Structure 1
Amino acid sequence: MTTIIDVAKKAQVSKSTVSRVISGNGYVSQESRKKVLDAMEALSYSPNLIARNLQSGETKTIGFLAHGFIDPLGIFLQSFISIAKKYNYYVTLYFTDGDKKKEIDALNQMKYKQLDGMFILTRANKWEVIEPYSIYGPIATWHRIDSERIYSSYVDHYSGYFRSLEYLYQRGYRSIGHVLGNFENLNTKARLKAIDDFHKEKNMPVKNEWIFHDKARLDNGRTIAQLWHKMSTKTDAMAFYTDSVAAGFISELQSLGYSVPEDVAVIGFDNSEISRLMHITTVDYSIKLQAENSFIYIHNQLNKEIIPEQAMSVQLIERNTVPPLKQIKEQ
C-alpha cells in the first residue's frame, strides 16, 4: 500500500510538505505542490481519510437526516447549509426513506469519525434509540423533545395554533376543521391542547369528525378534501399543520368545483414556498432561525464556543385563503 512517505520520496520533498498539500493547510510553493500532485497520481495514492480524521479529531462535516423531501426541507436545508458554510463546515444529506437501519448507518458515521455532528429533520427510530449516539457527537433536531442529550430548536406550536384559531374566529368562523400530524409528536399534542382550550374559552363544541389525522403527507390533502366534500355538515374553515397538505386540499377542492375561501377558508402552517406560490394564509414559525440555531448549537458543542442563538417568533401571514376582516364586515 502506498504511503505518504512513498509520495515524499517520489516527489523529492519532505513528508511535511506532502501533508500540507493533502490537508490544504500551510504554505507550499507551486513547484513543490505540482511535484506532490504528480507523484500522488503516478503512485495512485489516495489519502486515508479515516486515519486523518482520527488524528485531527474532526471532519468539518455535519450530517443532515431526513426521510425524503417534505415541504419545509428546502428552506431548512438551504438555511442550514448557508450558516455551515459561514463557519467553514460541510453538510452531508442522508435520505433514509423512513428505514430505521439506514438511519442507524448514518448515525454511525459519527462513531466512525466521518461526521462531527448530526441534525435530524425527520426520524425513523425512537428517540431512546437515537440518544446514545450523542456520545459520538452533538445531535440537534427541530422536533419538540425533552432530552438532555439532544438539542431541540422547536417553536411553541400551542401559541401559533391558538393564534390561527383566534384569527379565524374573529372573521366569523365557528365550525373549524383541524388537520394534524403524528399524534405521538409533542407539537401535535400542543395543537390538540390549543384546540381544547380554544373551544372551552369560546364555549364552542368541537366534533370528532372535524379532526383529521394526516399520516403520510403525500396526497393526504386530496384525501381530506374528498372527506370534507362528503360531510353532511361541512366546516366553514380548515386549519392545517403544514402548508403542503393545505395545498393538496385546495387543489382537490377546486377540481370538485369549490372555491377557497368562498366555500371554506384555509390556513396553513410553515410559510413554505408552496404557501407563497398558492397564496395560502399561513403561520410562520421561524424555520430559517430554527435551522441556524440548530447549527449554532452543534458548532458551539464542537468548538467550545458560545455563539448566541437568535430569538425566534411566531407570525401570522395573511394571504388569499382567508378573507380580510374588512371584506367580511362588508358582506
Structure 2
Amino acid sequence: MTTIIDVAKKAQVSKSTVSRVISGNGYVSQESRKKVLEAMEALSYSPNLIARNLQSGETKTIGFLAHGFIDPLGVFLESFISIAKKYNYYVTLYFTDGDRKKEIDALNQMKYKQLDGVFIFTRANKWEFIEPYSLFGPIATWHRIDSERIYSSYVDHYSGYLRSLKYLYQRGYRSIGHVLGNSENLNTKARLKAIDDFHKEKDIPIKNEWIFHDKTRIDNGRTIAQLWHEMTNKTDAIAFYTDSVAAGFISELQTLGYSIPKDVAVIGFDNSEISRLMHITTVDYSIKRQAENSFIYIHNQLNAEKIPEQEMSVSLVERKTVPIRIQRKEQ
C-alpha cells in the first residue's frame, strides 16, 4: 500500500510538505504542490480518510452535482437524501448548469474540507479531469464508467433496452425508432449494441434516419416530434432513453393533431413520475437503489465499513402507450 512517505520520496519533498498539500493547511510553494500532486497521481495514492477526519474533523456533508433539474433527479435525490439522513449525513445540492468551472469548484470543496465526498448525477468535465479529485474524498456516479477511482452504480442498459425492443416486436411493431443520449456515454453505446443485435436477430434492416441522439434533454422531445412529423416513412413505434424526452415527444405530437398510441407507440426508460402521470410504458432500472448504493459506497469509504449494497434489477412497466398492434389493425 502506498504511503505518504512514498509520495514524499517520489516528489523529492518532505513528509510534512505532502501532509500540508493533502490537508490544505500551511504554506506550500506552487512548484512543490505540483510535484506532490503529480507524485500522488503517478502512485495512485489516496489519503487515509479515517486519519484525515480524526485530524481535521468531518463535515458529515456529501455534495450532489447536477446540471439542473431533469425528471429522474427528483426520485434519485429523494432516495439519496433519505439514506444519507439515516446515517447522519447532510446533502448539499450543486446545480452547475453544465459549466465545467462550476463543477471543478464544487469538487474542490473536498480538497478544502467543505465536503466529505461527492456524487455526480450529471457531469460537465471529462472523467479524466474528475478522477484526480478522488484523492481528496470518495466520488460516486450513476453514469456507466470503467474506473478504479470512481464508483459507478450503473445498471446494464443493454439488457433493459433489448427488452424494450423485443417487447415492441412481440406486440406487432416492426419499424422502430430510437432516441438515444450522448453518443459518448457507455450506456448509449450499450443501447446501440442492443439495437444492432436486435435487428440482426429479427432480420430487420437498420435505417439511420430512425436513430436520434439527444445531448441536452431540454425540449428535445418536442424537436424529435417535429422531425418524426416531417418523415416520409414514419416509424410505428419509438423507444426513448428517458421518460422526460418521451413525454415531450408525446405532448408535441398531440399539439400537432396526432393520437398516441394510435399513430405511434412510445416506450420510455426510467419509470419516473412523469411516466406514471402520462401513462407511458417504460423500463424500471432501480433508480432508488442506484441512489442508495452510491451513498453506501461513499459512507463505506469514509468510515471503513462494509455495509452491503442493495441488489438491483431491470423490469418492464406496462401502461397505455404500447398497445398490441395486431389487435388495433383488426378493429
Normalised TM-score (structure 1): 0.82
Cα distance between partner residues in 2 of 1:57 and 1:146 = 31
Map Cα deviations across residues 61-113 of structure 1 (whole Å, 9 max, x no partner). Answer: 00000011111000000000000000000000000001111100000000001
Cα distance between partner residues in 1 of 2:236 and 2:320 = 15
1:21 maps to what in 2?
Answer: none
Contact conserved, 1:153 with 1:290, CA < 8 A, in 2? yes
Q: Once the two structures are aligned, what percentage of the paired residues are identical?
A: 88
Residue type of the partner of 1:90? Y
1:81 maps to what in 2?
Answer: 81
Cα distance between partner residues in 1 of 2:191 and 2:327 = 28
Contact conserved, 2:242 with 2:268, CA < 8 A, in 1? yes
Structure 2: 5+ residue runs without aligned partners? 1-51
Q: How does 1:13-52 map onto structure 2 within 5 Å? A: none
User: Taking structure 1 as reference, are residues 99 and 54 closer, same or farther at Cα in structure 2, changes over 3 Å only?
Assistant: farther
Is 1:296 matched with 2:296? yes
Q: Tell me the secondary structure at the aligned position of residue 313 of structure 1.
A: coil
2:6 maps to what in 1?
Answer: none
Cα distance between partner residues in 2 of 1:134 and 1:261 = 47
Q: Tell me the secondary structure at the aligned position of residue 65 of structure 2.
A: strand
1:113 maps to what in 2?
Answer: 113
Q: CA deviation at 1:167?
A: 0.1
Q: CA deviation at 1:325?
A: 7.6
Structure 1: 5+ residue runs without aligned partners? 1-51
Normalised TM-score (structure 2): 0.82
Q: CA deviation at 1:279?
A: 0.5
Q: Tell me the secondary structure at the aligned position of residue 85 of structure 1.
A: helix
Cα distance between partner residues in 2 of 1:168 and 1:114 = 49
Q: How does 1:63-212 map onto structure 2 within 5 Å? A: 63-212=63-212
Is 1:310 matched with 2:313? no
Map Cα deviations across residues 265-323 of structure 1 (whole Å, 9 max, x no partner). Answer: 00000001110110100000000000000000000000000000011000100001011
Map Cα deviations across residues 119-154 of structure 1 (whole Å, 9 max, x no partner). Answer: 000000000000000010000000000000000000
Q: Tell me the secondary structure at the aligned position of residue 72 of structure 1.
A: helix
Q: Which is higher, the Rg of structure 1 or of structure 2?
A: 1
Cα distance between partner residues in 2 of 1:326 and 1:309 = 43
Q: CA deviation at 1:216?
A: 1.4
Cα distance between partner residues in 2 of 1:171 and 1:328 = 10
Contact conserved, 2:239 with 2:267, CA < 8 A, in 1? yes
User: Taking structure 1 as reference, are residues 257 and 329 closer, same or farther at Cα in structure 2, changes over 3 Å only?
Assistant: closer
Q: Which runs of 4 or more aligned residues in structure 1 lie more than 2 Å from their structure 2 counterparts after TM superposition?
A: 52-57, 324-331
Q: Tell me the secondary structure at the aligned position of residue 172 of structure 1.
A: coil
RMSD value, Cα = 1.5
Q: CA deviation at 1:209?
A: 0.3
Cα distance between partner residues in 1 of 2:325 and 2:231 = 27
Cα distance between partner residues in 1 of 2:183 and 2:79 = 28
Cα distance between partner residues in 1 of 2:238 and 2:94 = 34
1:278 maps to what in 2?
Answer: 278
Cα distance between partner residues in 2 of 1:54 and 1:247 = 49
